[in-house]
């Protein structure tokens, strides 16, 4: 999915979410956020912020919503 947050199309990043079945009752979810180079110097700084933000939104909040226990942070 294109991720722009109000920026021009050429500065959009890409967010992908993949689901890998592990059993009938569980799966591994992998979120990838890429194309930070499109944001030039600002990209590295934003990436660091998003890395922490995705952990909160995706690993903690979504897992809570789905009734799951979040994996320990590494």
Say what percent of the chain tops pLDDT 70. Answer: 91
12-29 tens-digit pLDDT:
899 898 999 999 888 888
Q: Is the pLDDT of residue 72 over 70?
A: no
Q: What are phi and psi of 6, to 5 degrees?
A: 80, 5
What is residue 28's predicted lDDT score, i.e. its pLDDT? 86
Higher pLDDT, 36 or 70: 36
Indicate the domain borders of the chain. 2-66
Q: State how far the Cα of 72 lies from the Cα of 61, in Å rounded to an integer.
A: 14
What is residue 35's predicted lDDT score, i.e. its pLDDT? 92
At 2, list the tokens.
């294109």
- Could you tell me the pTM of the whole model? 0.66
């Amino acid at each position: 999915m294109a991720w722009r947050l109000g920026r021009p199309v050429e500065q959009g990043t890409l967010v992908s979410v993949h689901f890998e079945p592990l059993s009938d009752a569980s799966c591994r979810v992998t979120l990838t956020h890429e194309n930070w180079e499109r944001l030039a110097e600002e990209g590295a700084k934003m990436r660091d912020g998003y890395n922490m933000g995705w952990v909160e939104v995706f690993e903690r909040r979504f897992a809570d919503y789905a009734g799951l226990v979040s994996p320990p942070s590494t």
